[in-house]
């Protein structure tokens, strides 16, 4: 009777898709766009207050 080989504890985590890794490739697009929107928002608030 053969026994199945034990699975290492970290093996299941390595097989699962990490949420951070699925988003990292979008960062070169998302960060400049978010920065531009934030700068426009802050500039419009500064003009409104002034």
Per-residue model confidence as pLDDT tens digits over 1-50: 566 666 666 665 556 788 888 888 999 999 999 999 999 999 999 999 99
Task: Kindly report the pTM of this predicted structure.
Answer: 0.55
Tens digits of per-residue pLDDT, 18-30?
Answer: 888 888 899 999 9
Whether 30 maps to a domain, the answer reads: yes
The count of structural domains within the chain is 1
Whether 17 maps to a domain, the answer reads: no
From residue 2, alpha-carbon distances to 8, 9, 45 in Å are 18, 21, 71
Whether 5 maps to a domain, the answer reads: no
Whether 18 maps to a domain, the answer reads: no
Which structural domain, as residue segments, surrounds residue 30?
25-50
Whether 29 maps to a domain, the answer reads: yes
CA atoms within 13 A on the CB side of 19: 0
CA neighbor of 23 nearest in space, from 39, 12, 34: 34
List, in order, residues 6 or more apart from 4 with CB less than 8 Å away. Answer: none
């Amino acid at each position: 009777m053969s026994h199945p080989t034990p699975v290492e504890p970290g093996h299941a985590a390595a097989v699962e898709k990490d949420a951070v890794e699925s988003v990292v490739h979008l960062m070169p697009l998302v960060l400049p766009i978010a920065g531009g929107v934030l700068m426009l928002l802050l500039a419009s608030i500064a003009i409104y207050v002034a």
